[in-house]
Structure 1
Amino acid sequence: MDSSPTSLFDSYEQEFHQLIDAVRTKLDGDAKNEQGGSVPEQRKAALRRVEMELDEADEMVSQMEIEIQGIPQSIKAQYQARLRTTKSELSRYKKLSKDLHSHFNRTDLLASSGSRVGSPISDDPYGNASDRSRLLSGTTVLEDGTRRLQESQRIALETEGQGAEILMNLRQQREQIENARDTLHTADNAIDRASGTLKKMIRRMYQQRVVTAAIIIVLVLLICIIIWEKLLR
């Protein structure tokens, strides 16, 4: 397995180009099918696949933006240029897909309006087959939007759970730090008391030494006086 700092970037870029090639093939096919008069449902299904592949390509670009942060500065400039080219290509195909989608919508609307001119009123609550097809297409788009919304909600709930867990860990760490601080404060007070006690003991020791020395001096003087008196007699 390639472990170079650019391997993931190159992999995402390769997947991006594969997706873009698939999008290009579908868009070119739609343009030819438009001249040949393809079925509207087939064109719309192809455009939906194009939109999904463009979303995947957009995800690849996002991954490339993340990976480029870890590329060494000596070669980072050329990879940034490749990333800019990739973004420009993605934007171009997004615009082409959007324009083609709008064009097909206008074409379908005009065709539907033309087919209704002079036609009798039908008892079908959904209108003609074209209206039913548009309804089915709208339902498909709605279901796809609902699925994406549910997926976003699931991701949001997972993110919220992870955030709550992180906050709990941070609170526990804060409590540990506060307990350690209190322990250090208690130990500091104990050291201060012990230091005061030692100072008092040292001061009393010096006082006892002074008293002992004074007693010895007095005793020596008394002995000298007694001996002096003995000698004089």
Structure 2
Amino acid sequence: MDSPTALFDSYEQDFQQIIASIRDKLEGDAKDERGEQRKAALRRVELELDEADEMVSQMEIEIQGIPQSLRPAYQTRIKAAKADLQRYKKVSKDTHTQLARADLLGSRAGAHTPTLDEPYGSSDRTRLLAGTALLEDGSRRLQDSQRIALETEEQGADILRSLRGQREQIQNSRDTLQRADTSIDRASGTLKKMIRRMYQQRVVTGAIIAVLVLLILVILWFKLIR
């Protein structure tokens, strides 16, 4: 039979592999590369962050099946995994912001030279406004994503509580059935003992009747002969 912690350990191992991949990308391609390669690396990081989030959710589900004596240690491991996930989400967000600023500065470098009367050209102002709007829109999307993630986490916690209650009900029903089986076994044993005693009494009664009949025959024989 598989260990009750086997699935948890498997999900945790997958999580650690995904986190390692995210760390390599954030410290490698997403940091060193430029242009579209850097954007592609960040997109891959976002996908892997979603996978890591899913692994954490699976770990939270599996911990419900771990015995109470072992559960505190695994809860600590889940907290550590969540902390790693949040840290790399923040690093990814900061890298996105840096990339947006770099794109903005790069577009400014190709614009015409501003004059003293107009330190920023009209094209620069348009790009600055567009970049600011893009950053604000990205911040709103991140906030919405965090809100949805929190709502999803709360719903997942409610589902886990419901599953835990159903599991306890099933456990109680199984215990009740086991007690009923034990009672039936005891009753069956008692009935068998009663049946054996009944047969024993029949044998004893038959023997007594046989002895009485024999005595009557002996008495009649003596009386008839004499």
Name the TM-score, length of structure 2 as normaliser. Answer: 0.49
**Higher RCO by CA contacts (8 Å cutoff, separation 6 or greater):** 1
Name the TM-score, length of structure 1 as normaliser. Answer: 0.48
